[in-house]
Structure formats: structure tokens, C-alpha cells
Structure 1
């Protein structure tokens, strides 16, 4: 079997792109070839090819308020990898690299599996709508600046274009969460085959290290309680709710027992320590292992890998109840689900975890590790995809 994947990048750091790369590796471990076409290539793997682009492509798309046209993704159709592929597996097709008309052409020649890592496919242009309002089967974007934003209101054309391609082709849609599955079942894609396959993580990499050892390695205090924050994805992204992190830090300013550790760029202060972003997942596992709790303030999510990775490392989590997070993070069992956009409930959650008796905390850590190993490993996810591929081909 040969599965051709299409993804914005081959960057292992990004959630959706990292998952595509993990799937590629796992498929190959199962003797299934998985070449890729990407919008931007970072690796030196010879079976990953970059879709050509230039400044003109993106400039025209920006001016005409459409990320559906003007890209050179038709090059995929004339490639040897496409010719030899049994099936094409698409991931995010937004990111200013893919012409949606190419998807129509692919679907007329090969079976297509399309994993929706966000809502873009069922909105005019945005990856999250922040609204349940619908028009003609599409969830309406709250404003035109939500990523990927548009210069002017071209929603009517974008919806018409997507609808035409969807209604005249067959896709096997995969969603990582029940939350998104329910939305897709009420959308323009409702008549397509829709399969739930949860994201998975590599439990051989994401595992708990000795807390004292990793704190010593990163020169962090043994006696403090540490709140971990992923600042690299948050400061410039309104989806990630960085303002809530800043306000939480202010509320703990007089608590001498608590230190915040942020992954990403920033200047250290008395209360906040920054550790560099890394592509090394073993180092990320150490980051998870040095903390007492992960503070996750995202305002829009599907089924985030950060949550699964942290749980696999036994780290309790405080998060807003958003997207599919509540499907894996059970309130007060392996973390704390705060009311959406409630700063006071975030604070309540942190205090609940930080002041938890040791015996109950150990049980929470074990619950987190067990649920990942039982339901959300890369191996489980990959086997479900292989089963889906086989059913599509049969």
C-alpha cells in the first residue's frame, strides 16, 4: 500500500503537521509507503516534496481575499508519487499553499481521506468560527481577521466554491473529536462519510522523568510549585488566550511558593522563567515533567496534542472547557476544566491542583498516564487509519 499525504509543512512542532509526520513514520513502520507534498519543507527527507510557490501567489490571494485559488498544487497530479498512490490523505489544506480545485481533481482519480484538524473546511475562511451561526451549511466566521484572514468580505464566493467541490466529489472525512464530528454532521459536509479517529502521541517519548533531576538540569528551584505555560504558541495568537496567562501571573504575584515556567521567547523575571522552544520531543517531555501543573488557556481547540502529551507525562492540567478537550480531560479526575473565559475559575483550578493532597495527586497522575496508554497512543491512531484506508480501497 502507498499513501500520499498532503500537509502545510513537515514541521514536527506544529500540532496538525507534527501529527502528519508521526503518521508517516508509523505507516512506514507498518511497511506502508507514505510520501508527502507540503507547502513548506523543513526536513531533508527525499520523499517529501515542496509545492512550488512565489510571492505573487500569496499576494494575489491576499488582494482577492481567497485562499482557495492561485496556488500551484496541481503539480501533485503529474507526480510519480500520485500515480503510484493507492489513496491520498489530506490534512490541513489552508495555509496559503493549496488550490482547492486540486482536491476535486484528486478525488476524481483516487480515494481521498481528509482529516479536519480544525473548522476551516466548514467555514468560509476561518479555522475556528467562534460561533454556531450557520448559512448554507457553513459556520460563519465571527470576523474576517480570524486566521486565515481575508482582506475584504468575500465569504459568498468562498462558500460557493467550497460547496461546488464538496457536492460533486466523495471524501472520507476524519475528525479527531466528537465535538468536531457533531459540527461536521450539521454542515455542508454532512453527506460525506465521517469517521472519528482521535489523535495519538508516542508514549515511548512522552513519559515522566524524575522531577528533581529535570529541575536540576534546567536550573529550577526544587522547593517551588511550577506552573507550565506554552507561550510560544500564545503571545501572537488570539486563539491561545495569552491575556489570561498574564492576568493569572498577576494574581499569583504575591505567592512566593509558585513559579511560572513559559516555553518560548521572553525575559526572565522574579516570578517567570522562560525555557527555549525545542524540536526535540525528549526535551519537551522533560519540560512537562518539571512542572506541577500545565495552564492551558486556549480559546479555540479541536483535540490538542499538547493536552495528550502532558497527560502522557503524568502532568495535571487546568484548561478551559473548549472544543474536544473535555473528551479526554475529565474534570477533577486528571485535571480541572474551567468555565470558558472565566479567569476566577482558572485560578480556582490552579489552587485545586497545587493544594491537592499527595495521595490524591498521585492518583490523578496515574489516571492521566493510563487513559493515554489505553486510548490515545500513536499505535492505536495509526491502526485506525490503516483500517480506514483498507475500507476505502475495498
Structure 2
């Protein structure tokens, strides 16, 4: 089949934005391209739609939309894409992250009529008039009037969220498209939103990872790499400024954490931890990581992985930790309890509750057998539900089903 994956970029987020999917499908004999705004790789099958001259125009359009307090209406790249030979030859167009100053919503009805199309909805932006994550706001169900958090991404100086919500409703009503979501959490959004509940073809395909790769690293070798004493209890997490990742609650928890064992903290991510933590804990900060072997060792070195996100539509790092046979602690109220099979495998604690997070961590510190049991169960579940090969197979089957269905028309 001739397939095009469409996203804002290629290598950043490659595991979920269609890049890795493209590589695997091409290896299996399909002809797959990826259209992006910002190309990072040297892959000849990744095509950047943005030229140097176009960058100036795009910058002007971003500024123009910010002044209008609107988002995703003025960009010309749908028209540019439509004229490409690769698009014209395609059997299937697969849209991924398209709202980062990329495609105009107004182009989607025509684009989806021209070619059989599928859209992986990665976050709730598709259902709101403004924000990426509504959190506890229910306005997305009734029209986003008024918007209580105008400074959330994408920020608005004036409240145009209601207008954007209506525009999305009109656009979606004119679209002929299949929808993919990765979790029950996101499927519930699609089915309950007045904007998308009319879509008939909704498919849940969890993201996949190469689970066997996470068996490569061993605890002993990983700890030797960073000189972590064997008797330390090691807590791993991602440290980012992004408020949705919940680092705030980990830091609150660490202030109160009580343990008879020495603790090592190991992090990936761009946000340094407060220097005061080094007085109580052994701290290892790996920074932002693209090196897979370092990530394998990161998980292998730890006893528990914390992912207390306050907004999460799937959680790839959670399933990576599971594949590494490490228990995962998450907050309720996101996709993560379902993704980690809590309470049987993952541990889900009350939302935004750092005390409950502390209790769960202390329980695992004091119960190494529970740590091992949950970790081993996590690996089994990851191999049953989150294998990359299954992720690819389900996409191929869906592409063929959509192509046949649309061709019959």
C-alpha cells in the first residue's frame, strides 16, 4: 500500500508520531512517506513541507492567529500537501499531531474526502475550544463558554474558545474519517464529546514498544554503570518543567519520605532537581535522553518508576517500565491506571495526593517481594498488550479495511 504519515516532526516523538511505524511498514514492502513541518532526520522518505521562505510566512501566521486568539485556521500546508505527487498516489493518509501550527482545520473536510483517512487523536485538544487538557473543566461537553484557563497552551488574550469549539464542530461534521485512540481514557472523550460522538469508526490501538529490547539491560550492570550501591532503593522518574508530568508531587512526597534504606533518585528529562535533595539522597540526573541503551539501563537500575502525571492520554514511559519488569505508581484520573492495569499490576493513588504517593512508595520499600511480583506481572502484560509488532499489524489491518470500505463506495 501507499501510505502517508502526517505529523509536526519526525524524530522527537518518533514512537508515536508515525515515524517508527513508517520505518517498519517500509521494511515490509509498503511505500510509506511522512510529511512534517520540522524534519530532524536524514530519512529520504520524510518530506519537510516547510521551506526557508515558508518559515517566515509561518512565523507571521502564528503571530496573526495569536492576535486573533484563534488556532489552526490559516496555515496553507494542507494545500501544499494536496499538490504533492506522494499524496496523489496514496491509498491511505494517516494524520497524527497536526495542531502544532501545522494544518488548517478548514482544509480537513476536503483532504479527508480526497483520500481514505485515519486520525490518531493523541490528546484532548480535538475536543476543546482551546486547551490541550481540560483537567477538571467540563466545558468541552457544552461549548467551552466561558474558558476558565486562557493561559493554558495555546494561550488566548481574549476568550475565543467558544468560537473555536463551534468551528471544530462544523469541520468535524463535514469530515469522513476513521479515528484511532490509544487508550480507553481517550476513547471515552471521543464518544462523549458533542464534537466527535457522530464518528462511527473508532478504533483503540495501544502504542507498542519493542518489549524484548527492555530485557537487554540487567539490574547489576545498570547499577555498576552509575555506581549505585546494591542495597539502595532506587526511585526513577521523568523530571520536566511541564506541569502535567506531576514532578511537583514527587518533590512534595520526597520531603516526607521515610525509609530505613538509603535512597537513590535517578531521572531523565530536562529539568534539574532542587540541589537540596542531594543532602538526603544519592541523585543521578541523566538529562534528556535519545540513547536507547541509556534508557534501558535507566529502567533496569530502579526499583520503582513514578509517573504521577495529572494529565496523560496514554503514557509510553509507563509501559517501558512495565516491559523492564519494574512496578509503576500513577495518579488516578488519567489514562495511566488503565494502561498499567491497576490495581493488579500498577499502583494508582488518589489524584494530586503526594501523601498517598509517599505511602505507596514506602510500602514498596518495605516489601521487596511485592516490588518483584508487580514488576514481573508488568513484563507479562506488556508482552501481551504492548508489543510493537502487534501495533504495526493492527494498523496494517485497519489500513486495508478502510481502503476496501472506501473503494466499495
Normalised to the residue count of structure 2, the TM-score between the two structures is: 0.89
Alignment counterpart, residue 93 of structure 1, candidates 93, 98, 107: 98
Contact 1:205 1:281 in 2 (8 A): no
Alignment counterpart, residue 374 of structure 1, candidates 381, 384, 387: 384
Alignment counterpart, residue 134 of structure 2, candidates 105, 129, 134: 129
Distance in 1 between residues matched to 2:317 and 2:174, nearest whole Å: 36
Contact 1:90 1:112 in 2 (8 A): yes
Q: What's the counterpart of residue 8 of structure 2?
A: 8
Distance in 1 between residues matched to 2:296 and 2:222, nearest whole Å: 10
Distance apart, 1:321 and its partner CA: 1.7
The 1:304–1:224 alpha-carbon spacing in structure 2 relative to 1, beyond 3 Å, is same
SS in 1 for 2:176: coil
Distance in 1 between residues matched to 2:213 and 2:103, nearest whole Å: 32
Cα deviations by residue, 1:363-394 (Å, 9 ceiling, x for unpaired): 22221111111111111111111111111111
Alignment counterpart, residue 66 of structure 2, candidates 48, 62, 74: 62
SS in 2 for 1:35: strand
SS in 2 for 1:322: coil
Contact 1:227 1:293 in 2 (8 A): yes
Q: What's the counterpart of residue 291 of structure 1?
A: 302
Q: What's the counterpart of residue 49 of structure 1?
A: 47
Moved more, 54-63 or 286-295: 54-63
Q: What's the counterpart of residue 167 of structure 1?
A: 173
SS in 2 for 1:381: helix
Matched, 1:22 2:20: yes
SS in 2 for 1:205: helix
Q: What's the counterpart of residue 215 of structure 2?
A: 207
Moved over 6 A (4+): none
The 1:254–1:366 alpha-carbon spacing in structure 2 relative to 1, beyond 3 Å, is closer
Contact 1:4 1:87 in 2 (8 A): yes
Moved more, 259-268 or 374-383: 259-268
Contact 2:121 2:179 in 1 (8 A): yes
Q: What's the counterpart of residue 349 of structure 1?
A: 360
Structure 2 spans left out of the alignment, 5+ residues: 405-409
Cα deviations by residue, 1:119-166 (Å, 9 ceiling, x for unpaired): 011111221111352466656765122223333211122112211211
Contact 2:254 2:358 in 1 (8 A): no
Distance in 2 between residues matched to 1:111 and 1:241, nearest whole Å: 39
Cα deviations by residue, 1:157-196 (Å, 9 ceiling, x for unpaired): 2112211211112110111111211221121111112111
Matched, 1:189 2:196: yes
Contact 2:304 2:371 in 1 (8 A): no
Alignment counterpart, residue 39 of structure 1, candidates 15, 37, 40: 37
Q: What's the counterpart of residue 76 of structure 1?
A: 81
The 1:391–1:254 alpha-carbon spacing in structure 2 relative to 1, beyond 3 Å, is closer
Moved more, 21-30 or 74-83: 21-30
Normalised to the residue count of structure 1, the TM-score between the two structures is: 0.92
Structure-to-structure mapping, 1:261-300, within 5 angstroms: 261-265=266-270, 266=272, 269-270=278-279, 271=281, 272-300=283-311
SS in 1 for 2:37: strand
Matched, 1:386 2:396: yes
Distance in 2 between residues matched to 1:382 and 1:202, nearest whole Å: 11
SS in 2 for 1:37: strand
Equivalent pairs, count: 388
Distance in 2 between residues matched to 1:357 and 1:243, nearest whole Å: 26
SS in 2 for 1:108: helix
Structure 1 spans left out of the alignment, 5+ residues: none
